[in-house]
Structure 1
Amino acid sequence: SITRPKTRLYGNVLIEPDGAGNSQMVHYGGDSGDSGDSGNESIYRKGTLYFYHNTVVSTRDGNTTLVRLSTNDEHADIRNNILYATAGGDYLAILNRAGIAELRNNWISAGWVPAHGSLSGSLNDQDNLVGTEPGFANAAAQDFSLAQGSPAVDEAVSLVTAALSQPVLRQYVKHARSEIRSQSGQPDLGAFERCPQSECAMLFDNGFE
């Protein structure tokens, strides 16, 4: 049997600014000639991208695509993320055209589309939350931690086995730093865990600092 390559992308804050040249935030599989392969799909990755507990923010006025999978031999398991487009969900596509994707238990801007054009692959959409605002603490200051009352709090589900080997143990601290990602109740969606001060203090006192 053939073992499919596994790639894990998790715990990141990914920002797509307005005016950026490429509207695709993640590209997985292979390039057509960009790296000397001349579009030889036989040497593409043909694996699965596990994309979990990321906070994705697009401030583009135009279209944004979350993941470009090169062929239908590339798969993506996308869960427990926050996927937010300030222009509105109808400007946010999950796939470019090809690929097989499982989209489960994310918070996504309402009105999102599977692809901006025709979809030659497939997208399985299950148990996702939609809305207009994910409840960031201060989006204008690029503080994408979760405010009290955010719909993303306590909404994460269990990861698939292939992702469990790389759990999300730390979270981003601006700039170029990180801290322990504490847990308060059910894990939150996205790259940050909201932890009330009293509960965080208890966790720190027990050695999770």
Structure 2
Amino acid sequence: MAPFTPPSSDAVRARLLLAARDEFAAAGLIGGKVERIAAAASSNKAQVFHYFGSKEGLFDALVEQTVTETFDTVPLDTEDLPGFAGRLHDSWTERPWAQRLATWHRLERGSAAPLEAVLGRRTAMVDEVERAQRAGVLPRNYRPAVLLGLVLHLAAFWSEGSPESEALTRAVVPARRRQIVVDAVTSLVGS
């Protein structure tokens, strides 16, 4: 009989994050259950607390991971903000849990201290926008953080809509939705 070889800690952590993604995207932090996450990850509650310290720690780690994956896959391109917004729209369309997690994070963790990894990423992006504004690549009609925020929100427009909004715009096909995002950011930056 072969000796038992436990899974690597990275593999257990990754399984917990994947299970947490599905649970928290569906039910949020408050509604999400550690027991369901552990079971879906073929793990146990003790492992959740071992790797993340708490349910909130797991949620925060998941939000940080999701933001990191998103902007590693779709890096900011200050030379082409409309194209960046279109690619970001595509990412959020392909990965709907990312926007659901962001919504739960705003609703349930809004009064918590900012997540350092997310704040650091956003700060670096704002700095890039500011450099592009100073170089004359981007207009200076908005502060860098505001311009970036507007671009991010326009990219998320279709994935953050309410059911009522969706009912009124259902006829807009996916390819047109993407083009609307690109056109809106083009108008915003005047390119």
Same fold? TM cut 0.5: no
Give TM-score, length-normalised by structure 1. 0.25
Point out the structure with the larger strand share.
1
Q: TM-score with structure 2 length normalisation?
A: 0.27
Structure with higher helix content: 2
